[in-house]
Structure 1
Amino acid sequence: MSSSASLADYRAALTAPGAAVPVLASAVGRFPIAMLPLATLLYVQRATGSFAAAGLVSAGQMIGVAAGSVAQGRVVDRLGPSRPLQVIVVLFVLAVGALVAAVESAQPLPVVVVLATVAGAVRPALEGASRSLWTTLVPPGPTRAAALTYEAISLEVFFILGPAIAAFLVAAPWPGLGLAVACTAMSLGAGAFALSRPARGIGHAPAREGVSLLGALARPGMRTVAVAALGFGLVIGSVEVGVPAVTAAVGSPTLGGVLLSAWSISSVLAGVLYGMRPWPRPLHLRMPALLGGFAVLVAAMALVGPTGSLAVLVITMVFSGALITPQVTGHSLAVDIAAPPGAAAEAFGWVITAATLGIATGQSSAGIVVEQFGPAAAFVSGGTAGVVLAAVLWLRRATLLPRPAQPSAAVA
């Protein structure tokens, strides 16, 4: 799939018949995606006074999200998004309520971690449901490519604004306000999406035969997409640790958040332009090229050196950030090629899971190398991991070639 998208294609996608309500609801529901984990971490830290405890709770929540995205995707593919999301919204509200009650009553840390994991598992997996709905709203081609690019760009915007709002709300008289706002927005958005006419119009799908425990991930192409998402997450995670480490070393800790937000902004702008003229055009070549280029540019951020040159950091961040949204869009487009029929939501759940695990691993490994070798080492470690997985993608590129149409049976 090598479709490019013009501004007219974006307009056509967002104004497609029936798209208005689910698009708006999805935006509300996905807005707190990056806000939820930070709001949870800051809330627990304020309540317990321990960053270690808060980190364990946040990690539990991320593990739950990783597992829940795939499980919810399978149910959505089988039953349609409407009823499963309505049930999930109720479970999510109850789980977050139980988590808040446990924190407020100073329950033991293992109890809080378990409740955070459950809350993560039932966090509405609106990303996969929203993405898969486009297959019913717009036809294949440039318009659908524009719709999927919009999904990637909107997520980037949410990743810019969400953490900033969470950090602002933690200063409120009740530090759990950020978590409450995130839960409310997710629940209202997912509920409205589930009740929209297009979502309700998707009924039960026939059960797929011969489905293994891995589900969509049993397809070689899906494993390739998962590798791409994992590599992307590893590189992102290393930058999210390396940049604050550099700015803290030069005496301006808060500047790290500003630079990461600006990084995402450059990604959004580049994503729109890249969608109009993607290169390489063949998707099976684009995936390793984008990850490899991204990894090399992130490794170049190590040129900040021991003195922490912010000018060098900003320049290299601008260039590397330009390849973020094109990768996220590529993952989404690749799902159309690699996923089994009727498994789009589950397949995208695997992408979310791989990226989440990659970010968590990248952050933890970068933290270790920063302690041992200094801030610039985080960029080297993340860039090296990205280059290695880009090479793996290159070796597996044939698995992302479009599947040929099945020939019709010969008439006897």
Structure 2
Amino acid sequence: MAASTSALADYRAVLTTRGVLVPVVASAIGRLPIAMFSMATLLYVQRTTGSFAAAGFVSAGTLAGVSLGAVVQGRILDRLGPTRPLVVASLVFTAAAAGLIAAIEAHHAVVVLAGFAFLVGLTQPAIPGASRALWTAVVPPGPRRDAAFAYEAISLEVFFILGPALAAFLVAAPWPGTGLVVAALCLALGTTAFALSPLVRQQRSVAASAPAGLLGVIARPGVRTVALASLGFGLVVGSVEVGVPAVTTAAGNVTLGGILLSAWSVASVVAGLAYSMRPWPEPLHLRLPALMAGFAVMGLVMAVAAPAASLWPLVVAMLLAGALITPQVTAHSIAVEIVTPAGTTTEGFGWVVTAATLGIAAGSSLAGIAVEQAGPPAAFLAGGAAGAVVAVVLWLRRSSLRHEPAPVTDQLSRR
């Protein structure tokens, strides 16, 4: 009971830290459309072109841009501080989004739309990484900082529940591009407000603190291990996001797939709150492979449950798997702080985002092929097997998460 009270007190203390109210609210506005944007783009393009294939290709362009942009922007933010790069990114992103909308309205070729979508993803402000990195600067190490990272993971999961639903609602407006405009404006305005808030403007990283070389922080073994964990996480998530709709469609209930995926996210939020109060295993170098192994096993259980006459076994297995989502995202954030030198955490978070994005894309593709070749249960089998392989590799690399990064002389300073 004492542990729970302490944990709740940590959340309260973090969110009432002096000066964080404005950046917390602004970050929430800026992060809400992250999951909404790709869905709004897909639905808008599909309504305009009448083709799901074209819509999927354009949406994939956005994800490809995000995969590259998260790392590039993360490195820039670490070197220059968050304010100027985020403001510039917001302006360029807004222009790119306007260009995408104009191209869609002009019925340009799909390859042109995909090019604009890639630019939109590339310039999408890296506010998730900047928001998490801010906690590193304002909250001392310990339970409160862990609570801050748990808040980031839980809130982002909530946005992944609300975002696609909001996009689906707005596509029914008289103009199908409404959702895309709302998402772009929220992201740009929320990011700008975050970047210009007094607490964020005080943060400035010294360029000399960043590691030299083209690879940057990914050259560190510990960062590669965390990125691998994020990749494996994405592989399982991508397979489930394809497998569940495939199963419910085969069962004759197309809309049930979306409902189950929303329930999956709700389970993640609830379990994330409980898990953050008493995480297990306690040592982080054991926690990452253990959580990944549990996630992979539940994917395999879903493969066994999917062919059942009733959908209930699949629903139960899916909710249990969902309970492992937020704990993994939180563990990735904590691990990034451990394995990256001071002043490079935003780039480290960028690699986590990139790895997860690539994992989801690869998992979705692999699951789609598996469904076509062997039926819906094969999607979970493919994702679970891939996750199990990653869990084994994480176990073999666990020692890389034990070492603190080499100390650097230049630390995060205040203007």
User: Shorter chain as normaliser: what TM range?
Assistant: over 0.9
Kindly indicate whether the alpha-carbon contact (under 8 Å) linking 1:366 and 1:381 is maintained by their aligned counterparts in 2.
Answer: yes
Distance in 1 of aligned mates of 2:139 and 2:209: 24
Deviation at 1:212? 1.7
Shift of 1:206: 3.1
Match of 1:260 in 2: 261
Question: How far does residue 118 in structure 1 lie from its aligned partner after superposition?
Answer: 0.3
1:380 paired to 2:363: no
Distance in structure 1 (CA, Å) of the matches to 2:210 and 2:21: 35
Shift of 1:209: 6.5
Normalised to the residue count of structure 1, the TM-score between the two structures is: 0.96
Give yes or no for the alignment of 1:198 onto 2:199: yes
SS of the counterpart of 2:111?
helix
> Are the structure 2 counterparts of residues 111 and 18 from structure 1 closer, same or farther at C-alpha, using a change threshold of 3 Å?
same
1:132-183 superposed Cα distances (whole Å, 9 cap, x missing partner): 0001221110000000000000010001110111111111111111101100
CA distance in 2, matches of 1:245, 1:209: 45
Aligned residue pair count: 404
The residue identity in structure 1 corresponding to 2:399 is A
The aligned counterpart of 1:35 is 36
Q: What aligned pairs does 1:140-219 form with structure 2 within 5 A after superposition?
A: 140-208=141-209, 211-219=212-220
| Correspondence list, 1:297-336, <5 A | 297-306=298-307, 309-336=310-337
- Contact 1:26–1:189, Cα closer than 8 Å, also in 2: yes
- Counterparts of 2:335 and 2:196, CA distance in 1: 28
RMSD: 1.4
Aligned to 1:352: 353
Using the size of structure 2 for normalisation, the TM-score is 0.95
In the TM superposition, what whole-angstrom CA distance separates every residue of 1:73-94 from its partner, at most 9, and x where no partner exists?
Answer: 0111011111111111110110
131 and 249 in structure 1: CA distance in 2 versus 1, 3 angstrom threshold: same
Alignment of structure 1 residues 104-119 onto 2, 5 Å: 104-119=105-120
- With over 3 angstroms needed to count, the CA separation of the structure-2 counterparts of 1:262 and 1:210, relative to structure 1, is closer
Partner AA of 1:259 in structure 2: L
- Distance between the aligned counterparts of 1:174 and 1:277, measured in 2? 48
User: Do the aligned residues in 2 keep the contact of 1:303 with 1:312 (CA within 8 Å)?
Assistant: no
- The alpha-carbon distance between structure 1 residues 308 and 220, as it changes in their structure 2 partners (threshold 3 A), is farther
Tell whether 2:9 aligns with 1:8: yes
Structure 1 runs of 4+ with >4 Å offset: none
2:412 paired residue number: none
How far has the Cα of 1:403 moved from its partner?
2.0
Match of 1:58 in 2: 59
Q: Distance in 2 between matches of 1:307 and 1:399?
A: 41
Structure 2: stretches of 5+ with no match in the other structure: 408-415
SS of the equivalent of 1:268 reads helix
Task: Decide whether aligned partners of structure 1 residues 371 and 404 sit closer, same or farther in structure 2, where only a CA change above 3 A counts.
Answer: closer
User: CA deviation digits over 1:281-301, x for unaligned, max 9?
Assistant: 000000000000011011101
2:278 corresponds to:
277
**Match for residue 79 of structure 1?**
80
Of 377-386 and 297-306, more deviation after overlay is shown by 297-306
Unaligned runs of 5+ in 1: 407-412
Secondary structure of 1:34's aligned partner:
helix
Report the alpha carbon displacement of residue 305 of structure 1 after superposing the two structures with TM.
4.0
Is 1:205–1:342's contact at 8 Å kept on the other side of the alignment? yes
What is the distance in 1 between the residues matched to 2:355 and 2:406? Answer: 29
Q: Cα distance, 1:203 vs. partner?
A: 2.2
Distance 1:179 1:210 in 2: 37
Residue pair 1:17, 1:137 contacting (<8 A) in 2 also: no
Give distance in 1, aligned partners of 2:163 and 2:125: 16
Aligned counterparts of 1:273 and 1:325: Cα–Cα separation in 2? 10
Q: Judge conservation of contact 2:338–2:405 (CA < 8 Å) in 1.
A: no
Choose 294-303 or 396-405, whichever is displaced more: 396-405
Instruction: Name the CA distance, whole Å, in 2 between partners of 1:90 and 1:368.
Output: 39
> 1:403 aligns to what SS in structure 2?
coil
Displacement of 1:308: 5.3
Deviation sequence 1:34-55 (CA, Å, 0-9, x none): 1110110111111111111111
Q: Distance in 1 between matches of 2:405 and 2:187?
A: 39
For residue 369 of structure 1, what is the aligned residue in structure 2? 370
- 1:340 offset after TM fit, Å? 2.2
Task: Give how far 1:107 is off.
Answer: 1.1
Q: Name the aligned partner's letter for residue 104 of structure 1.
A: E
1:209 & 1:182 partners in 2: Cα distance? 33
